[in-house]
């Protein structure tokens, strides 16, 4: 509001308690499937996954609706929006009794989910009645409405047993619809909305309301809420099922035990608001994350039998949490989650007082999505691992990440406030007397970075750049290994009992390319935003998800195809890493050495494909990890394989590489830029031209790598393809790493032109060999293709910095010489990353083109002719724009001129 006066306490209390009661009913309806879902599951014979999707569907609607409901509340007032939302929810809940199939239940569940949107309506409405120093307490009391989940857990089982689940739906529907009418009659418009209406002030525009959402801090709050609220909702839905399966509890007992957790996670929210007002929301968040981590570790430990070889013989004992300690531990966990929920929403009206609806809506939406996504993942993890406590392991990991991000953010704020004082502190107090910050602390951010200065480069720059390069290379190698490991795994799935069709197998082979290419678009801009050190660390650590997932999924032939599709998409994390890695390394080296440095990073990184295709066929034949790795799979033709090793083998190396990136890499201050600053490349013509050319080189390399094993197996079934296919990516990677100097010496444009000419001939050779049925000709022509793609990968990337060093001075003549140099380097790095993103779609389209061609023509030859025509187009573009007389690179590559940006360096 524009003034500092607030309504009297009577009006405040009426608004608060009316909203709290309405929210309680809404939450009771929102979680109704946690009880009636068990009956519907038995009635329809649903699988674990289908049941998880059913109980999570209302959470999806409630989550996604929060953002728009928050905006509407700011615009139209909480009284009207809250009332309409409850009436619509009541109608949808009553419609459940007419559902007669799984599909109709899902549709009705979407409508029931509107109940979840009530939270942000109430937050935006209630916060307007109270001053900032009381908002934590007020919102904490309102948040007690989460106890509605406990109401459903406690009462619904008895109604269900007495009259059936349809009676539960009708009674809950009538209650919430009646509350909607009462709220509209009794409630009053909030003071802010009344003031705007009386003064004729227009409601804030969508742009104004959404403006704060670009702040990273908002998304950090959203992650916190993803755990404290999303985890609470997910457990509230999952616990009745968990208790009935693990402890064989009756549905009424399971409901009451789950209600105890929901009660703790709800009623103490008011206390969390009081604590946040008194001690600060940040302190309460530390308590929440710290205690939750300990409690979730206890809950995640599965029942285990131990055998110790003692001096007098084996000593055996077991660890297992009984039902009573389990419920007590859950109650304590719920208590700290309730504190955290209040603390998160204490932040929002303080930091964003005029944008509570939009910011609170986004945070609530992400938290609500946690309640939708997590039960599905719980079911998938249970199907995948067979371990019931896997759901708590996932929540434990989320807590650790959230706490680490919060602490790092706080430390960053402290560093900005105290400057260099913190850098001069020793790592341990005992080292204070000998601590010398100039000698013992390696600067993480390079404020002074001048690679084009010969003396700086010789004295300091080369050593730092080389260190970052040689840490980046193994991280990128692992990324490519994980990205392409699916190509080998897919080829062996039928042999270990997975009955997937040829089309399904080609989809699995192609999806990592699709997701990797898409992620590269986003990864392209991450290094200037987050810094190369942090982003390399995070992106390398993300490879653990597909590596571990593959290791577990392949051990069970009953693993659903959907799980394999998900893992194939997650393998794309490895593909995305290339864009950020190349952008990062491009900042470290001078133009004279950039081509070779990028070639080494990319070439030896690309080597991961070959390393994977050589190593995986070996490690899957032996029990590398012993009992820890799991049992072998029986081959349909006899024998055994440990296919899980295809994923597990990368885990220790990923952990080492992640630690090396965090401890040994640097950020360059000049390289920092927002997305808006980098987005200028979308207006550059040569960005799009280089996307086409790099698709012709790298897109071919990665697409051929992904499709080569399966294509060889289909075209020449008598040949053991896995013994040979690693050679293609090996040749391509080594040619890229070893020919970067050729482009530096003769010019990337000329090398690219002749590379495409050779690729046209090699592709024609593959087509001819397939027609003749000659494996030797087919293999030799493909080896030539792989070699040429490697050469072209290096040459196209060498072209980009030279092109932009000419284009930036022409397009931005008003810049000072040093500014031109920085702009040229920034755009070059962004274009390098973005072109790699577009080109990576080759990993999807080439294997998919093979499958389509085989499906339509019975042969992959049609796809190969399409590739040949594309190479002709690339050849013409290279000549027209770059290498002909008058082309952009003609004079430079013949030593007749120097790029303007280079002159100013």
Query: Mean pLDDT by 10-residue block, N- to C-terminus, for the chain (905 residues)?
Result: 60 83 84 77 74 74 75 78 87 83 82 80 79 71 72 78 81 88 84 74 58 68 85 81 83 77 75 78 86 90 76 75 87 88 75 65 73 77 77 90 83 63 54 48 66 82 87 88 79 77 72 76 71 84 87 79 81 79 78 74 74 78 70 72 83 91 80 54 78 82 72 74 69 74 78 89 88 84 87 81 80 77 74 71 70 74 86 89 81 60 39
Report DSSP state, residue 309: E
Are 464 and 446 within 8 A, CB to CB? yes
Residue 547 and residue 484: Cα distance in Å, rounded? 11
The whole-number pLDDT of residue 168 equals 83
Q: HSE-up of 795 (CA within 13 Å, CB side)?
A: 30
Residue 322's pLDDT is 83
Looking at residue 653, its pLDDT comes to 92
pLDDT of residue 190: 77
pTM recorded for the entire structure: 0.51
Count Cβ neighbours within 10 Å for each residue of 442-471 and write b for 16 or more, e otherwise. eeeebeebbbbeeeebeeebbebbeebbeb
Distance CA 740, CA 745 (A): 9
Confidence at residue 185, expressed as pLDDT on a 0 to 100 scale: 86
Tokens of 453: 């200065």
Task: Look at residues 70, 136, 57 and name the one whose alpha carbon lies nearest to residue 362.
Answer: 70
pLDDT digit string (tens) for 257-302? Answer: 877 887 787 777 777 777 877 787 788 888 889 899 999 998 888 8
Residue 309, strand partner residues: 314
Question: Can you give the pLDDT at residue 431?
Answer: 46
Q: Which residues contact 216 (CB under 8 A, 6 or more apart)?
A: none
Q: What tens digit of pLDDT does each residue of 382-431 get? A: 776 778 888 898 899 899 988 888 887 777 776 666 555 555 555 555 44
For 47, left (φ over 0), alpha (ψ -120 to 50), or beta? beta
Rounding to the nearest 10 degrees, give the CA dihedral for residues 286, 287, 292, 295: 140
Beta-bridge partner residues of 641: 633
Dist. CA 674–CA 143, nearest whole Å: 36
Task: State the DSSP H helix or E strand holding residue 315, giving kind and residue range, or none if neither.
Answer: strand 313-319
- Nearest alpha-carbon partner for 710 in 503, 509, 484: 509
- The reported pLDDT for the residue numbered 44 is 78
């Amino acid at each position: 509001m524009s003034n500092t006066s607030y309504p009297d306490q009577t009006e405040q209390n009426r608004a608060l308690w009316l909203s709290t009661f309405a929210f309680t009913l809404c939450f009771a309806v929102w979680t109704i499937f946690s009880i009636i879902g068990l009956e519907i599951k038995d009635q329809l014979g649903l699988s674990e996954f289908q049941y998880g999707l059913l109980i999570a569907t209302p959470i999806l609607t409630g989550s996604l609706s929060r953002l728009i409901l928050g905006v509407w509340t700011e615009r139209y007032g909480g009284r009207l929006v809250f009332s309409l939302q409850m009436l619509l929810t009541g109608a949808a809940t009553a419609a459940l009794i007419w559902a007669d199939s799984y599909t109709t239940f899902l549709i009705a569940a979407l409508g029931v989910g509107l109940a979840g949107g009530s939270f942000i309506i109430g937050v935006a409405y209630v916060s307007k009645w109270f001053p900032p120093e009381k908002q934590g307490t007020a919102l904490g009391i309102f948040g007690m409405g989460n106890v509605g989940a406990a109401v459903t857990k406690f009462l619904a089982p008895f109604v269900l047993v007495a009259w059936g689940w349809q009676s539960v739906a009708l009674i809950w529907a009538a209650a919430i619809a009646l509350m909607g009418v009462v709220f509209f009659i009794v409630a009053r418009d909030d003071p802010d909305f009344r003031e705007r209406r009386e003064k004729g002030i227009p409601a804030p525009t969508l742009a104004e309301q959404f403006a704060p959402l670009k702040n990273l801090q908002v998304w950090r709050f959203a992650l916190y809420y993803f755990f404290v609220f999303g985890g609470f909702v997910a457990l509230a839905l999952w616990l009745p099922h968990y208790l009935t399966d693990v402890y064989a509890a009756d549905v009424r007992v399971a409901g009451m035990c789950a209600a105890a957790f929901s009660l703790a996670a709800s009623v103490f929210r008011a206390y969390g608001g009081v604590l946040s007002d008194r001690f600060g929301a940040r302190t309460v968040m530390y308590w929440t994350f710290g205690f939750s981590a300990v409690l979730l570790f206890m809950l995640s430990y599965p029942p285990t039998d131990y055998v110790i070889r003692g001096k007098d013989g084996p000593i055996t004992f077991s660890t297992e949490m009984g039902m009573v300690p389990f419920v007590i531990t859950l109650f304590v966990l719920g208590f700290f989650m309730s504190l955290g929920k209040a603390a998160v929403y204490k932040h929002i009206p303080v930091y964003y007082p005029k944008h509570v609806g939009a910011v609170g809506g986004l945070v609530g939406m992400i938290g609500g999505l946690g309640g939708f996504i997590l039960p599905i993942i719980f079911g998938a993890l249970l199907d995948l691992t067979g371990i019931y406590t896997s759901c708590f392991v996932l929540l434990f990991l989320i807590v650790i990440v959230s706490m680490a991000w919060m602490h790092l953010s706080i430390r960053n704020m402290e560093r900005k406030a105290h400057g260099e004082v913190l850098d001069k502190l020793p790592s341990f107090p005992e080292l204070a007397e000998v601590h010398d910050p100039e000698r013992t602390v390696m600067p993480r951010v390079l404020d002074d970075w001048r690679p084009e200065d010969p003396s700086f480069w010789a004295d300091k720059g080369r050593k730092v750049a080389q260190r970052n390069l040689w840490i980046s290379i193994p991280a990128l190698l692992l990324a490519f290994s994980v990205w392409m490991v699916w190509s080998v795994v897919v080829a062996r799935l039928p042999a270990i009992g997975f009955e997937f069709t040829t089309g399904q197998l080609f989809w699995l082979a192609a999806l990592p390319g699709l997701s990797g290419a898409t992620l590269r678009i986003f990864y392209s801009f991450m290094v200037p935003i987050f810094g190369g050190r942090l982003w390399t660390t995070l992106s390398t650590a993300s490879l653990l998800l597909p590596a571990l997932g593959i290791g577990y999924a392949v051990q069970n032939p009953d693993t659903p195809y959907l799980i394999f599709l998900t893992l194939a998409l997650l393998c794309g994390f490895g593909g995305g890493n290339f864009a950020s890695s190349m952008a990062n390394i491009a900042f470290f080296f001078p133009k004279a050495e950039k081509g070779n440095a990028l070639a080494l990073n990319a070439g030896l990184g690309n080597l991961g494909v070959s390393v994977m295709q050589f190593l995986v066929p070996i490690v899957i034949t032996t029990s590398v990890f012993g009992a820890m790795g799991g049992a072998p799979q029986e081959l349909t033709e006899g024998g055994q394989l440990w296919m899980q090793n295809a994923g597990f083998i990368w885990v220790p190396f990923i952990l080492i590489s992640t630690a090396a990136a965090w401890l040994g890499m640097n950020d360059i201050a000049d390289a920092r830029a927002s997305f808006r600053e980098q987005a200028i490349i979308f207006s550059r013509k040569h960005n799009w031209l280089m996307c086409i050319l790099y698709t012709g080189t790298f897109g071919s390399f990665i697409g051929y790598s992904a499709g080569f094993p399966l294509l060889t197996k289909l075209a020449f079934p008598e040949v053991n393809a896995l013994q040979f296919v690693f050679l293609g990516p090996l040749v391509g990677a080594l040619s890229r790493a070893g020919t970067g100097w050729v482009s530096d010496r003769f010019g990337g444009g000329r090398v690219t032109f002749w590379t495409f000419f050779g690729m046209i001939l090699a592709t024609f050779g593959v087509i001819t060999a397939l027609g003749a049925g000659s494996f030797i000709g087919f293999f030799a022509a493909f080896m030539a293709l792989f070699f040429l793609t490697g050469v072209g990968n290096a040459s196209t990337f060498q072209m980009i910095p030279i092109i932009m060093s000419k284009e930036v001075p022409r397009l931005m003549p008003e810049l000072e010489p040093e500014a031109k140099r920085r702009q040229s380097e920034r755009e070059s790095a962004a274009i390098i990353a973005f072109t790699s993103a577009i080109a990576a779609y080759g990993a999807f389209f080439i294997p998919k083109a093979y499958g389509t061609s085989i499906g339509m023509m019975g042969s992959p030859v049609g796809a190969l002719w399409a590739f040949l025509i594309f190479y002709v187009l690339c050849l013409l573009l290279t000549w027209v724009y770059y290498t002909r007389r008058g082309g952009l690179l003609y004079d430079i590559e013949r030593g007749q001129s120097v790029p303007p940006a280079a002159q100013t360096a």
